[in-house]
Amino acid sequence: MRVLGIETSCDETGIALFDSEHGLLADALFSQIDMHVEHGGVVPELASRDHVRRLLPLIDQVLLEAGLKAREVDAIAYTAGPGLVGALMVGASTAHGLAWAWQVPVLGVHHMEGHLLAPMLEEERPEFPFVALLVSGGHTQLVAVHALGDYTLLGESVDDAAGEAFDKAARMLSLPYPGGPHIARLAEQGDPTRFRFPRPMTDRPGLDFSFSGLKTHTLTTIKALESEGTLDDQTRADVARAFEEAVADTLVIKCRRALEQSGLKRLVVAGGVSANQRLRQRLDAALEKMGARAFYPRGRFCTDNGAMIAYVGTQRLLAGERDGRTMLATPRWPLSELAPPAHVQK
């Protein structure tokens, strides 16, 4: 089965073609970062309009790269949520319109399930069951993954997610949006011994996350340095280093705890923050000591992309799932509401 995947949940337009027998055939991505950076964050109306502008040319590009005609596409999968409702509606309406024109089935899939299974696009893929750390945008979650669609939420952010905390810390340091990559680059120049920021909620049991206190501590530190007149370039790098290490250590501690409690030895790390190299280094070192292993998507599949949507759509379409006549655009959609396809239900 050849499935066209469409991702338009936020500020990236992602298109991909996945073949159930031959794997990923082609993919393309357009990022709107340059458009949103002057606003310091995503402007929903601008995002929706740009998806309208980019979608069909990207679909043509992917079909050309795959060497396929539209009539050779067997089904379409699109992101139905969670995300910005306007952006979701652009992808959903395009998917349903093309499915009607091409006379093929269409299916809306869960954006976070896409991230969750993005490492399945790699040659070395994890086997079920495993624990997954999802760190994407406004989501920071630990999930026990038993099979496709069979997920148990172990812990989640109770306030700011890790990605949101990176963006807010970047603004405090006068760095552009999105914050994660800019914090990481600045932190490379930082002194790891100058500041030590708190590792929130690691001194108590449980697997939930909270980064609002770390955000406040960062702001308080910066304000104090400004009032002293000592917030020079090197000090900004030192603060970035302390912040990044605090986030990485917090995520590592919680992941290690989740593996210990579940008895599992495989960890999937996915979402935009999973591209952070300090986090990967800390996780790999911690898991090696436990006899466990981490799996990551390649760099371009850490952020939103069409390939992960095409992959998840393929698995569920093969199991017989289909949309009805109504397109789906669900801005709030808990991962816990998903169910396994019929052929893997218990």
The structure tokens listed for 134 are: 């999802």
Q: Is 109 annotated as a binding residue?
A: no
Q: Is 22 annotated as a binding residue?
A: no
Longest Cα–Cα distance of the chain, Å, equals 67
Q: Is 138 annotated as a binding residue?
A: yes
Q: Is 149 annotated as a binding residue?
A: no
Q: Is 137 annotated as a binding residue?
A: yes
Q: Is 91 annotated as a binding residue?
A: no
Q: Is 167 annotated as a binding residue?
A: yes
Q: Is 135 annotated as a binding residue?
A: yes
Q: Is 180 annotated as a binding residue?
A: yes
Q: Is 136 annotated as a binding residue?
A: yes
Binding residues: 111, 115, 134-138, 167, 180, 276, 304
Binding residues for Fe cation: 111, 115, 304
Binding residues for substrate: 134-138, 167, 180, 276
